[in-house]
Amino acid sequence: MIFKNAISWFEIPSSDINRAQKFYETIFDIQMIPMDLQQLQMRMFPIESPMSIGGAIVYNADFYKPSAESGPLVYLNANPDVQIVLDKIEAAGGKIVIPKTEISPEYGHMAVFLDTEGNRVALHSIPQAP
């Protein structure tokens, strides 16, 4: 099997799915897609096609636990500029942990924030060609 992307799906834990949905819709100016299953509440990030990389905010009190210190660190796409998203974080109820930081001129910028659920989440933006 050939992997074209390291990530195929991600799930961000929440303790209040509606609060988390409002936070992510606010900072990314998107509408999330609800999908509630028998044991799981999910709010999916919009994607271009079923073959695209996707992810969701999820809630199941027995399985998912938000964490600011441990667990995977997911980098969300903040193109064209990490700062545009960072400028919305605190007003939406989150906290910036690492401000916009250059990785390198060719690899762009990153930042880390805590969402309204207490999860540590990262942002990444790649420089745009002139």
CA distance 130 to 118: 37
The hierarchical CATH code for the domain 9-61+70-125 is 3.10.180.10
Query: What six digits make up the tokens of 96?
Result: 């910036």
Closest CA to 103 of 130, 80, 123, 73: 123
* pLDDT for the residue numbered 49: 80
H or E element at residue 23 = helix 17-28
Encode the chain (130 residues) as per-residue pLDDT tens digits. 555 677 879 999 999 999 999 999 999 999 999 999 889 999 999 988 877 889 999 999 999 999 988 888 999 999 999 999 999 999 999 999 999 999 988 889 999 999 999 999 999 998 776 6
* pLDDT for the residue numbered 4: 67
* pLDDT for the residue numbered 130: 65
- Which residue ranges make up each domain of the chain? 9-61+70-125
